[in-house]
């Protein structure tokens, strides 16, 4: 079977032609073409952690948009129509430092958010998340401001320090730390308020 536009070989199940990027290359009746993807040739790259791929696909790479396996010589992704020559093909062994993050994606916004878990538990949080720089909280004077640094950079450092199977797993784990951190801060705040009120009443 050939693509109706460029006559390149295609399968009936292909959503996009590898050669020209046209949707529904086999011209299957009833299949709605996704024309905007093939016209733009670009799909927002979603920031994600490398997935555990099937070992039989070792020679394949991963589309940086939809994370589907692709052949290294493909011009377009068969699954989402991304123009691969205009994008960066993501290897299966991609480290977290190389992950492409869309500026408007949920994971990117989460990485910029305050980490209550890192700020509250510092070293304990650092051990569980592989962020060894958290041990600077033991250094005199540095510890006075280090909890603020951990709060600001905690999510980003944790994201880079460990291998996460998906952004959802990473965010779910850090959100649990954040809940625990907020509880600890509220307890501390309650104790401070109680001490102040007790001092005022005693005087």
Q: Give how far Cα 124 sits from Cα of 35, 117, 131, 147, 148, Å.
A: 50, 9, 10, 12, 16
From first to last of its 203 residues, what are the pLDDT tens digits of the chain?
787 777 788 887 777 777 777 776 666 655 555 444 444 444 433 333 333 334 433 445 777 666 677 777 777 777 777 666 644 444 443 344 444 444 556 888 899 899 999 999 999 999 999 999 999 999 988 888 999 999 999 999 999 888 887 888 899 999 999 999 999 999 999 999 999 999 888 87
Q: What is the pTM of this model?
A: 0.50
Residue 89 zone, left/alpha/beta (φ > 0; ψ -120 to 50; rest)? beta
- Helices 143-161 and 167-202: crossing angle, nearest 10°? 160
Question: What is the DSSP code (8-state) at residue 162?
Answer: S
DSSP E strand stretches across 35-166: 61-62, 69-70
């Amino acid at each position: 079977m050939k693509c109706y536009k460029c006559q390149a070989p295609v399968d009936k199940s292909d959503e996009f032609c590898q050669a020209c990027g046209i949707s529904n290359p086999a011209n299957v009746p009833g299949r709605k073409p996704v024309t905007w993807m093939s016209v733009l040739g670009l799909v927002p790259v979603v920031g994600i952690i490398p997935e555990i791929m099937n070992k039989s696909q070792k020679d394949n790479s991963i589309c940086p948009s939809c994370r589907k396996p692709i052949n290294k010589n493909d011009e377009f992704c068969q699954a989402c129509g991304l123009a691969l020559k205009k994008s960066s093909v993501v290897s299966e062994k991609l480290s977290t430092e190389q992950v492409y993050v869309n500026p408007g994606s949920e994971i990117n916004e989460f990485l910029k958010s305050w980490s209550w878990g890192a700020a509250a538990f510092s070293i304990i949080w650092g051990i569980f998340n592989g962020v060894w720089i958290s041990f600077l909280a033991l250094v005199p004077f540095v510890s006075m401001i280090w909890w603020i640094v951990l709060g600001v950079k905690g999510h980003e450092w944790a994201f880079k320090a460990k291998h996460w199977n998906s952004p959802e797993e990473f965010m779910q784990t850090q959100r649990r730390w954040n809940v625990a951190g907020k509880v600890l801060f509220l307890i501390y705040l309650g104790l401070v308020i109680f001490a102040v009120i007790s001092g005022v009443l005693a005087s």
